[in-house]
Structures are given as structure tokens and as C-alpha cells.
Amino acid sequence: MKNALWENIFRGKSKEVSQEVLTLKKVPVFEGLEPKELSEIEKLIHHRTYKPDEVVFRRNAPGEGMYIILRGKVDILTESGEGTSSVVASLTEGDFFGDLSLLDKEPRSATALAKDHTTLLGFFRPDLTALLKRKPQLGVKILMNLAAVIGERLRKTNDLLSQMQSKNISATNT
Amino acid sequence: MLLGIGFLYLIWQYISDIILLIVFAFLFTTILLPAVDWLEGKLRSRGLAVLVTVVSLIAGVGIFLSSFGMQLSNEAMDTYHKFEKEELITVIDNLRSNFTAILPEFAKEILESSSDETASADKISGYVKTVLGSLSQLTSAIGSFLFFATMILIFTIIILYEYHNFKRSLVSFIPNKYFELGLRLIRNIEKQVSSYLHGQLLAASSVAILSIFGLWLLNVFMDANLSLIIFIGIIAGLANLIPLIGPFVGMVPAVLVAVMNNIDTGAVSHYLFNVTPIPSPFFIFDIIFVFLIVQQIDNNLVTPKLIGQSVGIHPILVIIALLIGANLMGAIGMLMAVPAAGTIKAVSKEIMWAVRNTHLL
């Protein structure tokens, strides 16, 4: 006969990985982190749930950090001068946005809108700052990853810019 | 909203002590948090970091209080031994006869009639009762202070250990619409209160160091015969935490020690800094002068640099905040008035910023 007490004592720690950790693992900002470090990040992130068409943040609102989509969809909108807005990106599960706000205090440059019943994981600047003090090695890893993400984005922007410039040059030559 | 305020008013007398306790624990947490976070990074264990910080603090305060108490009691014994017992009795007798001589006739009769044996016995039993009553009051006051201090310590340890989790739980209640604004508000309030408290501690340290230096100069160049100058300096620094009245409170121990040490010397007829023709009994005016200079340096150079920029409240508003604090909670209220005013200012500033720059409000 099985004894519940002994079973519980020798059960050991659950090795089950949470949905949050699995999602975080796929985000480039948390790439290469040990499972223990990912659990540490899991303790810092904020769960936020949104209804369809609920605003996550508005353009010009204070930007405090990044969001990762755990479930649902989010549209990123930019507003033109005439009050109309256009969708610049549609993001789904595992995507992230607002990461620049982890580094600077500038207001949001676009509006984020939940398109479905959406659950987001928020990772914010005050938590990153505290992490840099409390667990500097982990904080530095995240900062390096963040720098790599921004570097990659800058490289792509430069490529696009040079492509456009070469198109312009060829257009003026013809 | 009104119902909530009414309910709070009704239960205020039952919860005010607990709220005060939590506020104190939060203030200590704000002061100790950077040290705990830094130590956690070094020791890789938050529990150990909290333990090391709290034990160091208790040890520091304990060593200060015990060595101060010991030295003060030695000083008191020295002062006591300065008088011969007979001499003291003669001085008291003379004082009594002089006092009786200036009394009107009816008062003298009352005094004489009360000097029979029965009256004396009644008087003695009255004194004993008063002394016993005072002793029991003192014991209960010390007991409640110790209980309060222990509770603050326990709350501080818990909040220090769980600070980041508490903050996360608190933040989870903010509605989505105001979430990031709320985060910004909390960050700015934390920054404001923390820089104010650290600024105050730095200003208190500078007052302590300057007072010690000033009193040391009096000892070296004026033969002021002042002892315990390090403790007096630290007390002056701590008293300086209470705005307006603190600086005057800080002078009291120095003046008392000067009187105790110089009561039997020629210092009674001493002149201010041996130059200015103002009699400075027991070097009292010299000490007051030193503390005034320290206050001038603190008010005009140190505090504006350290605190002025962090809170930046108009002096009139500081006085109003202090009066409100004193009315609500006495000395403790005065101690908390400026950080509270700073917090209100930070909240208003953030709301104004949100109104101007976002479409949230």
C-alpha cells in the first residue's frame, strides 16, 4: 500500500517547466539563460490580461518596459496627423514589443492594442535595474542580449537604408 | 469614497499604531534596501544579506548606546564625587533657609505646621507612592517602547526580505489603463523618498562631524573641558533629523556636560572665546556659538546640496507640513512631515505630467 507521507517526502522538486518559462526561453532578450536564471526572471515578470480591443499602451504614454505575448494577439499602430492610425505589425504568441523602453525613458512611439483575449508578460525597467544590483551577472546577460537585439535591428535598418539609397541613386542616374 | 473615509475615521484609533509601525518599517526598509540589494549581489542569498544588514545595525546601535550609557554614568559619578556630602547638605540647607525667608508669613506657618511627625510620615508615604507610581509608569513605557521597537524590527526584516515580491503584488492591482503610469509613479516616489532619507542621513552625519570638530576645537584652544564629544556630536546629528526644533535639542547634551564638568572650576567666569566681553558660564555661550556655526554651514551649504534638490519644497510649505505633522503625531509627525510632503509633491507632479503628456487622464 502506498503511503502518501513517504511519497510526498521523496517526491523531490517538480521538474515541470511552466508555460511562462517556455515562452521566455524563446525570447532573444532571455536567450542563453540557465533554467535557474529563467525561474528568477519568472519571479520578476508581471502577468497582465487584456480584453479584445483594449489598449496595452498609447503613443506618448510613459514607457516603462517590454511585453511578451503569452496568449493572444497584439497590433502595433502608428497614428498619422489626421487622427487615423495604421497597423505596422501584428504580433502573436512568443513575440515581444516595447523592449527599447527597458533602456531609455522616452515615451512610447506607437500604440499597442490587444486584438483578442490576451495575456502578456511584462518585464520592466525598475525590475531590470533592481536585478542589476541584486544579481549583476544575470542582469549583465540580459543587457548583452538586449544590445544584440538592438544591434541586429540597427543592422537591418542600415541594410534597408543602403538599399533605398542605391535605388534612389539608380533612379536619378536613369 | 466617502463611506471609505468615514469607516477609516471610525477605526482610526484602533489601527493608527499599526499604521505608524508599518510606516516606520517602510522608512527603515527604504534606508536599508540599497545595502541589502548590494549584499545580495555579493552573498547570492537575500536571507543572508538581510541578516548581515540587520545584525550590523543592531550591533552598531547596541555598542553606541551601551558605551554612551557607561560613559555618561561615569561622568555623573564624577560630578557627584566633586561635592563633599557635608558641603552639599550645607548648600541645600542654605537654599532652604533663604527660600523660607522670602516666603510670606502664612506660607511659613503652613510649612512649619506641616513639619510635625504625623505630617512628615504622611509626606514620606506620599513620596513613596509617587515614586512607585512613577516607576511603574516608567516600566510600562519602557515595555511598550521595547515592544514597538521589536515589532518595527520584525516588520522591517519581513519587508526587506520580501520587498520586491510585495511591490510586484501591489503593482498587480493597478488597472491596465494606468499600469505603466503607476509604475512610473511608484518609481519616482521611491526615488524621492529614498534620496530624501539618504540626504537627511548624510546631513545628520555632516552635522555630527562638524559638531565633534567644533567641540574638539573648544577643548583644544579654550580648555573647555568637554567630554563625550563624539556622543554629543552623534546625538546632535540625530536630533537634526527633526526640522526646526532638532538643532536646539542637539545642543542640550553639550550644555549639560559642560555644566557637569566645569561646575567646580573657574570656567564659570569665562568670557566668550576669551575675547568677547560676554560672560559665558561653563562655556555655554561658546557651545551655543559653535552649534550656530554648524547650523549655518548645514543650512547654507550641506542641506541645499543634499536635500534641497531631492524634495525641493518651499520653506513655508515645510513649516506648514511640520505644523500639521506635529498636530497629528507630535515629534514623530514632524520627523515624517517633510518626506510625506515630498511624496504628495511627487504624486501631484506625476499627475500633472500625465495630464499634459498622455491621454490617460
Between strands A85-91 and A74-79, the pairing is antiparallel
Cell of B50: 538581510
Q: Give the dihedral sign, CA B128/B129/B134/B137.
A: positive
**Residues B115-144: tens digit of each pLDDT:** 555 666 677 677 777 877 788 888 888 888
What φ, ψ does residue A55 adopt, rounded to 5°?
Answer: -75, 130
Chain B residues in contact with A63 by the CB 8 A cut-off are 180
B154: Cβ contacts below 8 Å, ≥ 6 apart: none
Distance from CA of A158 to the nearest CA of B (A): 31
The reported pLDDT for the residue numbered B56 is: 93
Spatial separation of the C-alpha atoms in residues A114 and A69, rounded to whole Å: 10
- Residue A9, pLDDT > 80, answer no
Chain A residues in contact with B177 by the CB 8 A cut-off are 55
Around B212, how many Cα atoms within 13 Å sit in the side-chain half-sphere? 14
**Residues B211-238: tens digit of each pLDDT:** 999 989 888 887 777 888 888 898 888 8
- The answer to whether B286 touches B273, Cβ cutoff 8 Å, is yes
A107, B38: Cβ pair inside 8 Å?
no
List the single range of A140-144, A166-170, B90-94, B156-160 with lowest mean pLDDT.
B90-94
The reported pLDDT for the residue numbered A72 is: 93
- B44 vs A111, higher pLDDT: A111
Mean pLDDT of chain B: 79
The reported pLDDT for the residue numbered A5 is: 56
The reported pLDDT for the residue numbered B223 is: 78
A133, B41: Cβ pair inside 8 Å?
yes
- Residue B106, pLDDT > 80, answer no
- Residue B329, pLDDT > 60, answer yes
Distance from CA of A156 to the nearest CA of B (A): 29
- Cell numbers 507612592 correspond to B129
Instruction: Read off the DSSP letter of residue A113.
Output: E
- Residue A12, pLDDT > 60, answer no
Q: If you write DSSP's letter for every residue of B18-70 in order, what string do you get?
A: HHHHHHHHHHHHHHHHHHHHHHHHHHS-HHHHHHHHHHHHHHHHHHHHHHHHH
- Residue B166, pLDDT > 60, answer yes
- B113 vs B160, higher pLDDT: B160
B358, A61: Cβ pair inside 8 Å?
yes
- Of the ranges A138-152, B56-70, B124-138, B164-178, the best mean pLDDT one: A138-152
B181, A57: Cβ pair inside 8 Å?
no
- Residue B113, pLDDT > 70, answer no
Residues of chain A that touch chain B, judged by Cβ-Cβ distance less than 8 Å: 43-44, 46-48, 50, 54-58, 60-65, 107, 122, 124-127, 130, 133-136
Residues B25-29: what's their mean pLDDT?
A: 87
B181, A124: Cβ pair inside 8 Å?
no
Considering only the beta carbons, identify the residue of B41, B180, B184 that sits closest to A135.
Answer: B41
Q: If you write DSSP's letter for every residue of B154-216 in order, what string do you get?
A: HHHHHHHHHHHHHHHHHHTTS-GGGHHHHHHHHHHHHHHHHHHHHHHHHHHHHHHHHHHHHHH
In chain B, domain spans: 174-361
- Residue A171, pLDDT > 90, answer no
Mean pLDDT of chain A: 86
- Residue B207, pLDDT > 80, answer yes
Instruction: Write down all domains in chain A, each with its CATH number in brackets.
Output: 17-166 (2.60.120.10)
- Residue A1, pLDDT > 60, answer no
Distance from CA of A60 to the nearest CA of B (A): 6
Residues B322-326: what's their mean pLDDT?
A: 82
- Residue B49, pLDDT > 90, answer yes
Q: Give the dihedral sign, CA B85/B87/B90/B91.
A: negative
Q: If you write DSSP's letter for every residue of B288-318 in order, what string do you get?
A: HHHHHHHHHHIIIIIHIIIIIHHH---HHHH
CA angle B116–B122–B127, rounded 5-degree value = 120
Distances (CA, A) of A91 to A78, A113, B320, B350: 14, 10, 53, 31
List the single range of A113-117, B66-70, B295-299, B335-339 with lowest mean pLDDT.
B335-339
Around B131, how many Cα atoms within 13 Å sit in the side-chain half-sphere? 6
A134, B37: Cβ pair inside 8 Å?
yes
The reported pLDDT for the residue numbered A13 is: 52
Residues A3-12: what's their mean pLDDT?
A: 57
**Residues A15-46: tens digit of each pLDDT:** 577 888 889 988 999 998 998 899 889 988 99
Helix, strand, coil share of chain A (percent; to 5): 45, 25, 30
B171, A134: Cβ pair inside 8 Å?
no
The reported pLDDT for the residue numbered A143 is: 94
- B176 vs B120, higher pLDDT: B176
| A-B contacts at Cβ under 8 angstroms | 65
Chain B residues in contact with A55 by the CB 8 A cut-off are 176-177
Collapsing DSSP to helix, strand or coil, A144 comes out as helix
A61, B37: Cβ pair inside 8 Å?
no
Helices and strands (H, E) in chain B, number of each type: 12, 0
Torsion of CA B143, B144, B149, B153, to 10 degrees: 100
Terminal Cα distance for chain A, rounded: 89
- Residue A4, pLDDT > 70, answer no
The reported pLDDT for the residue numbered B67 is: 85
Chain B residues in contact with A136 by the CB 8 A cut-off are 41
pLDDT grade for B36, boundaries at 50, 70 and 90 = very high
The reported pLDDT for the residue numbered B103 is: 65
The reported pLDDT for the residue numbered A75 is: 93
The reported pLDDT for the residue numbered B310 is: 57
Chain A residues in contact with B354 by the CB 8 A cut-off are 62
